[in-house]
Amino acid sequence: MQIALIAHDSKKEEMVNFVIAYKHIFEAHNILATGTTGTRVMLECFVKVNRLKSGPLGGDQQIGSLVASNEIDLVIFLRDPLVAQPHEPDITALLRLCDVQCIPLATNIATAELLIKSMERADFAWRDVVKAKYKQLPKTGTDD
């Protein structure tokens, strides 16, 4: 499964600790992360991470593109709701795409733990069905 990790600056330490706690689960999956979050997870957790750009430099949009094409199975986005972000429209767009594509999304550590435990129990098998169906849809490139 493809798991996307994003964490605002004040939440990066929390993300690292979370990945360490569930390293055995993360090691069994493909991890993508925005710039600094990905670097910290790689260096501090010793987990392979496919790093994208930093969030403010387009990383959120890169993950959004993968969500829109149904290539992400789970997003863990530890947000700091008390700090205004200069790239807030990108964040909002990513959250909206997760809702549109029915991609499980955690924006806090409590929900992240519920989703990761669910993944450990293999409760995400339905994603394989969704992805197979998505691949069968015709790609017209236009809105009908």
Decide if 2 contacts 69 (C-beta within 8 A).
no
Domain extents in the chain:
2-128
Q: Are strands 50-51 and 74-78 parallel, antiparallel or unpaired?
A: unpaired
Q: Which helix (H) or strand (E) holds 77?
A: strand 74-78
In this prediction, residues 45-69 reach a mean pLDDT of 92
Q: What is the DSSP letter of 123?
A: T
The conformational region for residue 108 under phi > 0 = left, psi -120 to 50 = alpha, else beta, is beta
- Per the structure block, which two tokens stand in for 65? 């593109």
pLDDT > 70: percent of the chain: 87
Q: How confident is the model at residue 3 (pLDDT cuts 50, 70, 90)?
A: very high
CATH code, 2-128:
3.40.50.1380
- Among the listed residues 39, 48, 35, the one whose alpha carbon sits nearest the alpha carbon of residue 2: 48
- Among the listed residues 1, 19, 18, the one whose alpha carbon sits nearest the alpha carbon of residue 66: 1
Q: What is the DSSP letter of 49?
A: -
Catalytic-labelled residue, pool 60, 99, 128, 143: 60
- What are the tens digits of pLDDT across the range 102-138? 899 999 999 999 999 998 887 777 676 666 666 666 6
Active site residue 60: yes
Average pLDDT, the chain: 88
Does residue 81 surpass a pLDDT of 70?
Answer: yes
In this prediction, residues 139-144 reach a mean pLDDT of 57
pLDDT for position 91 = 86
